[in-house]
């Protein structure tokens, strides 16, 4: 096993006190930035990048990637405790994580989130370790039609498998697509819907919308209902942790499925966000009791977190092997690599073995150390819930505002965030789901570009979406998922017809 030998070499590079100290520092900083909504991994890495210029590349990337792992772990904390996703892919975690926290099971939800993050990342790291060369050639198969079919699959699975009324999902998604169109259109090079305003030039930032839609609207709702954030004593962590871990094997199918989805979407630069939503929807679809999802079911935390982290980790592979960042943080790391004179590309794995395998080894170590670190601090985080709402709410609003501002250093974004807060409040009142809206906002642009590029390339022929096995099967699967409720009921009635027939015989 050549990979194992190289990996051992990587561990040898890492196991020095200096590197291990940097690792801990990175993780703690990462958890800290992950907890602040909006600050998140990409910003943490961006802020700390200049610090690493004087380090050697291996130490630097280890520290930066540990900030990344820390932020991944930290992002789950605010989603579960306050219904404010710290990272885009934590949105799906709020669906069941927040209800669990409200029922006083915050520690359980946090443990579940951290553990599944760990499992997801581990699955992806294993994949990177053993399949790196094969995967980069798989990613090269993706042209515009393939990309579009993946986005289509994500959208369709949402409509077909979602719990909410179909028309409401479609309304929400369309509004998101509309807003995603604001700003520069890459394909025509023209500005759209900016109405001469400089603030609209950059378009609507996805994270600003998420902070407003989820965070601010939640505060509004809580204020209206005069509720405290109903958190109770989170209990002694070790017991809860062991209880959750004992139950883990029951959910092996969910964990495996989500890891698979995550790895797949991570290496096809579809992104962690799509992965977390798909992981959640599929877990619900195949559950024996889909109705209990969204009401505080632990599986609803396992599924999206595992998928998000598997894809977040797998996203580093296309970055290293192809120079295409699969996520925002990967993009910043890419900038860093170039400063250290390491050009990501097919030759990186050959010419800089020390660096690449040091990084991969740091993924293993960083995850283990990170898991221990966050689990020991669960009681501290869960105790935030015991602080009175009146004291916590202003702090949350301020932290949301800072997060929204920091994304682009724009005052306008704070107003936008507040606007989205009101929109989120109204949507929740009239029962329009927020998730399709955010999904459309984040993927809308890319889906549109991919579709139009496919059309330019194929001269307007729709057959391009069935032009080879890969794109054809994804597109077909997308359409099947879109009409799944219809197909499901047809199959249901057919089998009902069959059964009496059998009985009669």
Give residues 21-80 in contact with other proteins (rule: CB under 8 A): 21-22, 25, 29, 40, 42-43, 46-48, 50-51, 53-55
Q: Whose CA is closest to 120, among 363, 441, 478, 391?
A: 363
Instruction: Give least dist CB 142 to other proteins, A.
Output: 7
Of 205 and 254, the one with the shorter C-beta distance to other proteins is 205
Residue 408 in the binding site for other proteins (CB under 8 A): yes
Residue 446 in the binding site for other proteins (CB under 8 A): yes
Residue 86 CA neighbour count, 13 Å, CB half: 31
Residue 498 in the binding site for other proteins (CB under 8 A): no
Contacting other proteins (CB under 8 A), which of 198, 390, 430, 469? 198
Instruction: Give least dist CB 392 to other proteins, A.
Output: 23
Residue 20 in the binding site for other proteins (CB under 8 A): no
Contacting other proteins (CB under 8 A), which of 457, 462, 486, 498? 457
Of 233 and 456, the one with the shorter C-beta distance to other proteins is 456
Contacting other proteins (CB under 8 A), which of 188, 288, 390, 504? 188
CB 418 within 8 A of CB 216: yes
Q: Whose CA is closest to 87, among 95, 96, 78?
A: 78
Instruction: Give least dist CB 72 to other proteins, A.
Output: 14
Residue 120 in the binding site for other proteins (CB under 8 A): no
Instruction: Give least dist CB 69 to other proteins, A.
Output: 17
Residue 150 in the binding site for other proteins (CB under 8 A): no
CB 124 within 8 A of CB 314: yes
Residue 141 in the binding site for other proteins (CB under 8 A): yes
Largest Cα separation within the chain, whole Å, is 81
Give residues 72-111 in contact with other proteins (rule: CB under 8 A): 88
What kind and span of H or E run contains 191?
Answer: strand 190-192
In degrees and rounded to multiples of 5, residue 166 shows phi and psi of -60, -45
Instruction: Classify 355 as helix, strand or coil.
Output: helix
Of 387 and 402, the one with the shorter C-beta distance to other proteins is 402
Conformational region of residue 162, where left means phi above 0, alpha means psi within -120 to 50, and beta covers everything else: beta
Q: Whose CA is closest to 145, among 479, 480, 470, 477?
A: 470
Contacting other proteins (CB under 8 A), which of 3, 178, 184, 480? 184
Span near other proteins by CB under 8 A; candidates 124-132, 180-188, 289-297, 467-475: 180-188
Span near other proteins by CB under 8 A; candidates 3-11, 160-168, 195-203, 256-264: 195-203
CA 162 to CA 432: how far, in whole Å? Answer: 12
Give residues 365-404 in contact with other proteins (rule: CB under 8 A): none
CA distances from 55 to 18, 46, 64, 316 (A): 11, 16, 11, 21
Give residues 240-269 in contact with other proteins (rule: CB under 8 A): 269
CA 258 to CA 262: how far, in whole Å? Answer: 6
Residue 434 in the binding site for other proteins (CB under 8 A): no
Give residues 266-305 in contact with other proteins (rule: CB under 8 A): 269, 271
CA 101 to CA 105: how far, in whole Å? Answer: 5
Residue 481 CB partners (closer than 8 Å, separation 6+): 153, 156, 157, 160, 161
Residue 322 in the binding site for other proteins (CB under 8 A): yes
């Amino acid at each position: 096993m050549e990979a194992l030998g190289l990996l051992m070499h990587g561990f040898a590079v890492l196991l020095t006190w200096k590197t291990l100290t940097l690792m801990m520092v990175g993780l703690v900083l990462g958890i800290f930035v992950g907890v602040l909504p909006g600050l998140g991994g990409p910003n943490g890495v961006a802020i700390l990048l200049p610090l690493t210029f004087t380090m050697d590349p291996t130490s630097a990337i280890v520290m930066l990637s540990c900030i990344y792992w820390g932020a991944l772990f930290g992002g789950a904390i605010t989603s579960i405790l306050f219904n404010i996703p710290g990272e885009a892919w934590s949105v799906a975690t709020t669906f069941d994580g927040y209800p669990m926290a409200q029922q006083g099971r915050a520690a359980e939800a946090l443990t579940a989130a951290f553990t599944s993050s760990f499992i997801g990342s581990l699955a992806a790291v294993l994949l990177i370790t053993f399949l790196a060369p094969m995967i980069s050639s798989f990613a090269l198969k993706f042209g515009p039609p393939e990309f579009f079919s993946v986005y289509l699959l994500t959208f369709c699975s949402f409509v077909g498998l979602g719990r909410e009324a179909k028309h409401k999902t479609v309304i929400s998604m369309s509004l998101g697509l509309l807003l995603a169109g604001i700003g520069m259109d890459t394909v025509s090079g023209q500005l759209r819907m900016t109405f001469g305003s400089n603030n609209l030039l950059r378009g609507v930032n996805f994270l600003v919308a998420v902070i407003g839609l989820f965070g601010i609207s939640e505060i509004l709702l809580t204020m209206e209902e005069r509720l405290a954030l109903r958190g109770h004593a989170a209990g002694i962590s070790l017991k809860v942790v062991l209880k959750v871990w004992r139950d883990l094997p029951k959910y092996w199918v969910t964990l495996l499925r989500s890891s698979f989805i995550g790895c797949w979407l991570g290496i096809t630069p579809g992104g962690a966000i799509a992965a977390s939503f798909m992981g959640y929807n599929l877990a619900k679809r195949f559950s024996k009791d889909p109705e209990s999802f969204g009401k505080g079911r632990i599986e609803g935390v396992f599924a999206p977190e595992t998928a998000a982290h598997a894809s977040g980790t797998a996203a580093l592979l296309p970055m290293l092997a192809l120079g295409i960042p699969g996520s925002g943080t990967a993009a910043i790391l890419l900038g860093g690599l170039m400063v250290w004179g390491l050009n990501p590309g097919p030759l990186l794995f050959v010419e800089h073995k020390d660096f690449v395998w040091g990084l991969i080894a740091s993924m293993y170590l960083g995850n283990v150390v990170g898991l221990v670190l966050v689990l020991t601090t669960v009681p501290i985080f869960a105790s935030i819930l015991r602080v009175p709402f009146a004291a916590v709410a202003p702090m949350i609003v301020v932290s949301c505002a800072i997060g929204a501002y920091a994304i682009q250093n724009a005052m306008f974004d704070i107003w936008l965030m507040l606007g989205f807060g009101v929109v989120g409040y109204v949507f929740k009142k009239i029962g329009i789901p927020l998730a399709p809206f955010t999904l459309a906002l984040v993927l809308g642009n890319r889906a549109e570009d991919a579709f139009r590029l496919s059309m330019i390339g194929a001269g307007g022929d729709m057959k391009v979406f069935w032009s080879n096995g890969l794109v054809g099967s994804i597109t077909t699967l997308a359409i099947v998922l879109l009409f799944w409720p219809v197909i499901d009921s047809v199959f249901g009635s057919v089998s009902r017809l069959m059964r009496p027939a059998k009985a009669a015989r």
